């Protein structure tokens, strides 16, 4: 007989926060992907140049990162092992996106406050990989 391992309240709290965090990422992606020319024109010049010149592969990486994280969070909520795989894919896409933002593009300078969100995003992504792997090994994710 298989022993049912029940998640703790902390597990559910982390899973719900992960879902909310990744919902914010989806909204950010959709806002950027569907930004109108009029919306771009009211941005500072360096941001206009950035958004007007983002390569398709960066936009695709952004989409994979946020939707992978979103679906991984759903996986945590419904207790599926594939959440780990999606968080890894999401992280790899995040790395690709930020390689462009930090090392390739030369429109927006990535210093100071510009670095806070990417650092937090990396930390959250790494934590969700660790968390989902740990819960999978504990038998909470099936």
- Structural domain for 115, as ranges: 9-137
Nearest-angstrom CA–CA distance, 14 and 20: 10
Its pTM stands at 0.92
- How many domains, the chain? 1
Q: Do the domain assignments include residue 102? A: yes
Q: Do the domain assignments include residue 16? A: yes
| Per-residue pLDDT tens digits for 21-41 | 999 999 999 999 999 999 999
**Sequence-distant contacts of 132-140: CB under 8 A, at least 24 apart:** 132/72, 132/75, 132/76, 132/83, 132/84, 132/87, 133/84, 135/7, 135/11, 135/76, 136/81, 136/83, 136/84, 138/5, 139/5, 140/5, 140/7, 140/11, 140/79
Nearest-angstrom CA–CA distance, 136 and 1: 19
State mean pLDDT over 74-103: 97
Q: Do the domain assignments include residue 44? A: yes
| Per-residue pLDDT tens digits for 81-93 | 999 999 999 999 9
Q: Do the domain assignments include residue 142? A: no
Q: Do the domain assignments include residue 32? A: yes
Q: Do the domain assignments include residue 104? A: yes
């Amino acid at each position: 007989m298989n022993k049912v391992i029940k998640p703790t309240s902390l597990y559910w709290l982390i899973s719900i926060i992960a879902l909310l965090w990744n919902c914010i990422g989806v909204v950010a992606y959709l806002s950027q992907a569907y930004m109108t020319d009029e919306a771009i024109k009211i941005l500072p010049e360096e941001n206009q140049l950035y958004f007007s010149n983002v390569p398709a592969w960066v936009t695709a990486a952004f989409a994979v990162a946020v939707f992978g994280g979103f679906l991984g969070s759903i996986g945590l909520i419904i207790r599926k092992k594939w959440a780990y795989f999606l968080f890894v894919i999401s992280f790899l896409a995040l790395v690709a996106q930020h390689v462009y933002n930090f090392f390739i593009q030369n429109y927006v300078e990535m210093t100071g406050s510009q670095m806070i969100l990417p650092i937090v995003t990396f930390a959250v992504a790494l934590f969700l990989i660790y968390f989902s792997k740990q819960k999978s090994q504990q038998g909470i994710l099936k």
